Amino acid sequence: MSTQLVGHPNEPRPRGSGAFRPISAYPTIGNAAHCGTCFSSSKRAKQALFFGIFALLASALLAQQPDAILKHAIALHQAGDLDAAIKAYRDYLAVEPDSLQARSNLGAALARAGRYDEAIAEYNAGLQKSPDNPALLMNLGLAYYKTGRHAEAAARFERAVTLSPQFKDQVTLLLAACYNNLGRYKDAVALLAPLEKDKAGDAGFDYLYGTALIGDGQEGGAAVINRILSHGDSAEAYLLRGTLELTAHDRDAARADLEKAVALNARLPGAHARLGELLLVLGESERARVAFTQELALDPDEFTSNLNMGVLAKEDQAYVEARRYLERALRTRPNDPGVRYQMANVDLATGNLEPARQSLETLTKESPDFAEAHATLATVYYRMNRSADGDRERAISQKLMDQRDALPAGTKPR
């Protein structure tokens, strides 16, 4: 699981949100809870006796002084002794299971320790008791963000801002990063455009804004790239420009820029993935595979790499592996039609016709212009001996593809 911040390295973290920190500080208490770790004896019998006595004393103390345990936990947390703090918070919650503060702090300590799944469980437990707690929502959003669950992160950030507008400044860039990762470029542009006047020139902002503009196919992406480049050679700028060129099918230029981006900063999120996409287009699937693998080593949840590795694995008929990648991609973008379509193709290829039918029917209902999904659904119906349904889907797919073919041919050689 990633402990890296997903998105741009310069992406600002929320300021003063108390993210992954204790909600409040309490004076430290005596060291009773830790005395066990100080004790040592060469004789086992004495040890056992002492532990027994100690356990009795400790439980008595715990029953009498829960607040002291919480204070001690917070002190440990603040001192950076996360394992001990987590244990202390759990001890406290065993006595006071409804303590929101302890639950939130436990989540924060777990998150700081990189144990995001446990943190998410604690935050969610806290939110069950207090669904509209903005601080808990913020922390939960951050934990989701760090685990690449951008859709869930975005939903929590949005809710937190609705409940407490003062969080808006802290969360805007994170939310925009989520939108970019989810392919919701239009939402990212809407969020960032009003800030351009004040934040233009800030590398993190420019990168997010440029990504959103280019992703949404809007003009203005090139201007943002130039703005970044005006500060000197920048991997981010080359990545953005390469992405722009890739979109415009200018493959030679895209290759030059994307390779430069990777050379300047091999850890730049998204750079290997874009290069991998280009290499696939160029028919260099082995190199593309390497690029996607490099991206996933930096961020195991990166969407494009998971999707393409899933497709490559599917083509190799390594269906278990394909599912693993595609499921990971779906975790990042839960409703992505492309990934769901590929999952349905895996189902079809492995003879699981019923799940393939169900997902393709849903997909074509949601995206009626998805010609390939209609075509595959036709094949599924034919395999299920539902000829009439197959004929219908085939006709729909054919019509859609004919419409696509009727579009202007473009200006590039094939």
Partner 1 sequence: MKRWFAGAAVCAAVYALWASVGRAQPEARRPHFTDIASKSAFTYKTENNFTGRKYFPQTMCGGVAAFDFDNDGRMDLFFTNGAKLPEMEKTDPRFYNCLLHNRGDGTFEDVTAHAGLLGKDLGFSFGVAAGDYDNDGHEDLFICNAGRNTLYHNNGDGTFTDVTERSGITKPKDLLSVAAAWFDYDNDGKLDLIVSNYTVWTPQTDKVCAINGQEYYCHPKIYPSVADRLYHNLGNGRFEDVTDSAGFGKDLGKGMGIAIADFNRDGYMDVFVANDTVRNFLFINQKNGTFKESGYEWGVAYDENGNAHSSMGADAKDFDNDGFPDLFYNNLKGQIWGLFRNMGGKYMSYVSGMSHVSRLSEHSSGWSNGFIDYNNDGWKDLYSSNGDIDDMGQVSRQPDTLFENVDGKEFRDVSNQVGADFSHAGFQRGSAFVDLNNDGFQDLVVTSLFEKPRILMNSADNGNHWLLVNTIGRRSNRDGIGAVMKLTTGSGRTLYNHVTTSDGFMSSSDKRVHFGLGAEKTIESLEIRWPSGVVQTLKRVKADQILTVTEAAK
Give the binding site for partner 1 (CB under 8 A): 281-286, 311-312, 314-317, 341-342, 345, 349, 371-373, 375-376, 378-379, 382-383, 390, 394, 401, 405, 407, 409-414
- Residue 140 CB: number of other CB atoms within 10 A? 28
Q: Which residues contact 414 (CB under 8 A, 6 or more apart)?
A: none
Long-range contacts of range 64-71, CB-CB < 8 Å, 24 or more positions apart?
65/29, 66/92, 66/95, 66/96, 67/26, 68/29, 68/30, 68/32, 69/29, 69/33, 69/95, 70/26, 70/96, 70/99, 70/101, 70/102, 71/26, 71/27, 71/28, 71/29
**Whole-number minimum distance, CB 210 to partner 1, in Å?**
27
**Shorter beta-carbon distance to partner 1: residue 193 or 282:** 282
Distance CA 188, CA 183 (A): 9
Q: How many CA atoms lie within 13 A of 193 on its CB side?
A: 13
Nearest to 145 by CA among 126, 120, 166, 169: 120
**Shorter beta-carbon distance to partner 1: residue 27 or 408:** 408
Distance in angstroms between the alpha carbons of the first and the last residue of the chain: 41
**Shorter beta-carbon distance to partner 1: residue 47 or 317:** 317
**Shorter beta-carbon distance to partner 1: residue 16 or 410:** 410
Q: Are 28 and 109 in contact (CB under 8 A)?
A: no
Residue 231 tokens read as 């500060």
Cα 312–Cα 283–Cα 278 angle in degrees, nearest 5: 85
Q: Are 303 and 181 in contact (CB under 8 A)?
A: yes
**Shorter beta-carbon distance to partner 1: residue 106 or 288:** 288
Q: Are 224 and 201 in contact (CB under 8 A)?
A: no
Distance CA 79, CA 77 (A): 5
Query: 3-state DSSP call for residue 143?
Result: helix
